[in-house]
Every structure is written in C-alpha cells, then in structure tokens.
Amino acid sequence: MSVDQGRGLAERAAANPRQAARARYDRATADLDPPLAIVDLGAFDRNAADMTRRAALTGNGGRPIRVATKSLRCRYLIERALATPGYRGVMCYSLAEALWLHAMGTSDDLLVAYPTVDRRALRALAADGQAGSASRS
C-alpha cells in the first residue's frame, strides 16, 4: 500500500468513526472464534450508574438493584455491575447457574428465578453446606 492509499484510509476512517471502530474491532478479534462480544466498559458503567439514578427517582426506598443473569450472561460483567454502588444480589436463570456463581465467589445473595427439577443441581445444593446455608438465609 502506498503512503497516499494509507492517507485515504485514514481520512475515510476519520470521516466515519463507527466504521473505524468496526475495523479496529475486526482486527482485534480476527483470531477469535465466534460467538463473542465486545463491550464498551465506559458505556456499561454509565448505564449501570444511570439505572441506580433512575431507581432512586422511583422512590424504591434505597433498595439495591439485583442483576438478572438472563439478560447479562458474562460473569465478569455481572461482577462489575455488583461492584457498582446501588447493586446487590443476582437473579439467576437456573439453580445450576446459581451454584456456579456461588462457587466462583460472584455473590452469596442469589435468587433462582424459576422452579427447577434439575436433579443434579438439587443434589449439588443439598451436598454444598455453604450454598445450602446461603439459600436459607
């Protein structure tokens, strides 16, 4: 590529920052197999803070926001949200997920949102003294 061609690419990228970002993300993830996600952590943090601001406006009495794993499927982001003031606890999609999040140390305030007949997970809950005591408190 000539210097002139390189300048043309740079000018086009500057003219369309979205395309430039997409090209940068494509280069950064070229060696990764999908599915994958790229998260703007600044936007994530701003949205998390905005949710607590809006929750305060509704007069929720200072109750914390519980993170729903059905919508947020990345443990790192769940933990990031829980580190945000105004968030506490996780609403889990399944008992198996709740047990995993407990074992990973993500939270001990776990609510299983749906009834379960998952025998393996129920046996694991019964056998795990720490998870079992957390589930009763």
Give the whole-number percent of the chain exceeding pLDDT 70. 87
Q: What tokens were used for 62?
A: 């200072």
- Number of Cα atoms under 13 Å in the Cβ half of residue 99: 16
Cα 66 from Cα 64, distance rounded (Å): 6
pLDDT band at 3 (very low <50, low <70, confident <90, very high): low
Spacing of C-alpha 130 from chain mean position:
24
pLDDT band at 137 (very low <50, low <70, confident <90, very high): very low
Beta carbons within 10 angstroms of residue 102's beta carbon: 21
List the one residue out of 83, 88, 78 whose CA is nearest residue 108: 88
Average model confidence (pLDDT) for the chain? 88
